[in-house]
Amino acid sequence: MDDVIKAKGEGADKTLLSAADNAQEAGTKLYAQIDGNRQEVLALARTAVVGGPNLKPGGFSTLPPYLLEELSRRNPANSDFLKTYNKTKEMQEKGVMFRPRLSGDNDSSREVYDAKGKEEQPGERARFEGEKPSGNKEVDQAYDYTGVVREFYKKEFGRNSIDGNGMKFVSTVNYGDNYENAFWDGKQMTYGRPGEDSPFKTFVLLDVCGHEITHGVTEKESDMKYYGQSGALNESMSDVFGELIDQYAHKQTANQADWVVGNGIWKDGIKGRGLRDMLNPGTAYDDPKLGKDPQPAHMKDYWTGWGDNGGVHYNSGIPNRAFALFAKSVGGYAFDDPGHIWFAARKAAGNNPSFSQFAYHTIEQAKALGHADEVEKLQKAWEAVGVTPSKTTLDTRTPQPNLPDDGRRTFKKAG
């Protein structure tokens, strides 16, 4: 650092600024633009410079990295999958903050834009709150689905939009030229437009919309770290509430629902029912173009590795199955008692729970909400996936990054 300061004093090129200086400068600029916590901004700036596992990513994508990688490997003539994978990775590594408050951003209104194949946000204005249908299928579906998500959270949980304070629901459809994904980036919902040779029919689906927007709700409720079991619970919360929203819209009970995330996402001829099967993880698809759904359904098959932020998309199948089993054993609408127990447990468990700790809090919240008679069913659901509820048991199954006290995140290489 002294050498850098000396060099600057001698009139050397300003590009000799150290990584720490750049981080400080980036943090200062962000602070001037965002009405938020300065220390958090600086910490995020340091993360972007130092690198390592992003415990607070800049975006959450619908397709897990393992699926995009497998699609790229099995379809080498189609570069769209690799392009989307790299773009998604770039987005997630930015570590951006939740969208800052905007003027008039308190009416929970809907705004839908059309990127028309360009990689730009938000795109051209297509349909705003109260306007008549545009005639564009993707635009009108995004508008309608967002309305269902808004109604669900308002009616079932008394929540005023994503942040609880009326944040606008902004969506962009037809993003990118053959962009094979959809994502929530802390600011808005964005849906890619599948290519002609893609196995995907569409990304504009109700449970996909609910899944991605729920990432925003989770960030505001508990800010679960996006790594290991905490990250898998983050993904599972989005799967759970995405399916609850779908069941709510179709007035389905837990025993009537199919519990398939992304039902309708595949084109005809693809051997698959969706992206994930909550009730039977690992069975959602099995096709030569895709490979086989790799999700484990039990702790004995827990995925251990550095990839996918410590297996957040792989291992989410375990808590997913626990919820689906519990909801079916309770009966009725899953968005009633089971949904409310999960919603409350998310906040009670804090920002870095293990599966065991989260399971413990579901039991405690069941009691607190007056559902003590359902605790035995809840315990059996966790037992069925190999998770033992415990207030103190930490995540020891996932390779852990080194997190020094200064907030810098370095990543150990697997041996």
pTM of the full structure: 0.81
Bridge partners (DSSP) of residue 113 are: 125, 172
Which tokens in the block code for residue 266?
Answer: 């595949």
The alpha-helical segments, DSSP class H, found in 19-109 are 19-33, 38-50, 65-74, 80-93
State residue 47's pLDDT score.
37
CB neighbours of 16 closer than 8 A, spacing ≥ 6? 4, 7, 8
Mapping DSSP to helix (H, G, I), strand (E, B) and coil, where does residue 60 land?
Answer: strand
Task: Note if 235 is an active site residue.
Answer: no
For the chain, the domains span: 1-50, 228-384
Cα(68)–Cα(162) distance, integer angstroms: 28
State residue 35's pLDDT score.
35
Q: What is the mean pLDDT of each run of 10 residues along the chain (415 residues)?
A: 38 36 42 37 34 61 83 85 78 57 78 95 96 98 98 97 94 92 90 92 97 94 93 97 98 98 96 98 96 97 92 97 98 98 98 97 98 98 98 93 44 33
Q: Which superfamily, per CATH, for 228-384? A: Neutral Protease Domain 2 (1.10.390.10)
Which tokens in the block code for residue 238?
Answer: 């989005």
Task: Note if 250 is an active site residue.
Answer: no
State residue 211's pLDDT score.
96
State residue 43's pLDDT score.
39
Number of other residues whose CB lies within 10 A of the CB of residue 133: 11
Are the beta carbons of 147 and 155 closer than 8 angstroms?
Answer: no
State residue 55's pLDDT score.
67
Which amino acid is present at 20?
Answer: A
Question: How many Cα atoms within 13 Å fall on the side-chain side of residue 273?
Answer: 13
Name the active-site residue from 111, 180, 212, 243: 212
State residue 37's pLDDT score.
39
Number of other residues whose CB lies within 10 A of the CB of residue 55: 22
Name the active-site residue from 211, 313, 361, 371: 313
